[in-house]
Amino acid sequence: MDTNAKLKLLIVEDDEISKEVVSLFLSGQYEIDSTSNALQALKLVEQNQYSAILMDINLGRGLTGIDLTKKIKELENYKQVPIIAITAFAMRGDKEEFISSGFDYYLAKPFTREELRATIKKLLGS
């Protein structure tokens, strides 16, 4: 593998400002695709192989981030790909609920650039 090749991440976030902030936090380190809805996210994971996915829980109309994560994890080439919940849900028990729903990690908003980068680095070993 080319050591200069950037790992590819998918951000699934319906809030445009949050999506921009996360993209900005990761720009330069990773190749980033982003979408604001579940159906587009499913198309993207079928067309690309991502190293990790950052998933909001509340995606507006249609599938939730939990539903979408379950669908993605059913795909053979995504069974081992980490999916990180990035969400404003930060009540006691939320983290455990999301992890038991299929997420590999949970990051409550607001988070810092350093927290996000450290989480991805830990999960990907990059």
Domain-embedded: residue 2 = no
Domain-embedded: residue 30 = yes
CATH number at 93 reads: 3.40.50.2300
pLDDT of residue 111: 93
Q: CB of 35 within 8 A of CB of 41?
A: yes
Domain that holds residue 40: 8-124
Q: Assign 126 a pLDDT band (cuts: 50, 70, 90).
A: low
- pLDDT > 90 in the chain, percent: 79
pLDDT at position 20 over 80: yes
Domain-embedded: residue 13 = yes
User: What's the pLDDT tens digit per position in 34-70?
Assistant: 999 999 999 999 999 999 999 999 998 889 999 999 9
**For the chain, what is the domain count?**
1
pLDDT at position 115 over 70: yes
- Rounded to whole angstroms, the Cα distance separating 124 from 66 reads 21
Domain-embedded: residue 1 = no
Pair of tokens at residue 47: 């067309």
Kindly report whether the global pTM for this prediction surpasses the value 0.85.
yes
